[in-house]
Every structure is written in structure tokens, then in C-alpha cells.
Amino acid sequence: MTTAHLFYIPVILMVGFLAGYFAGRSAEAEALKKKRKQRARRQAAKKKRAEQAEGDAEGRAGDVSL
């Protein structure tokens, strides 16, 4: 084994670690963005359902006939 291997192997390992770090960081950012978008969509749907339920309750209260 030559002395070149003493430098070559650690350099290649570091390149691999850095590539994995940057790939993982960008994947995590995309996942976080997707999660925030999904949370906003769920909150909007929940708000819409609450408004519909409130509107239905007010509509029923006015239909009282004896």
C-alpha cells in the first residue's frame, strides 16, 4: 500500500460524508416544506368545516315551528 492511499481513502470518505450531508439537508428542507403545506391545508379545511357547522346550527335555530 502506497502513501497515496493514506490520503486518498480519507479524502473520498470526506467527500461522501459531505455529499450525504447536503443531500440529506435538502431532503429534510423539502419534507419540512411539505409538512407545513399539509398543516396549512388541514387548518383551512378545519376552519371551513367549523364555519359550515356554525352556519348549519344557525339555520336550524331559525326553523323552529310548533
Set of cell numbers at residue 44: 383551512
Phi and psi at 44, nearest 5°, equal: -65, -40
Q: With a threshold of 0.85, does the pTM exceed it?
A: no
C-alpha cell belonging to residue 41 = 391545508
Q: Report which of 25, 47, 44 is spatially closest to residue 36, judged by C-alpha positions.
A: 44
pLDDT at 2: 80
pLDDT tens, residue order, the chain (66 aa) = 788 888 899 999 999 999 999 999 999 999 999 999 999 999 999 999 988 888 777 666 555 555
What pLDDT, on a 0 to 100 scale, did the predictor assign at position 47? 92
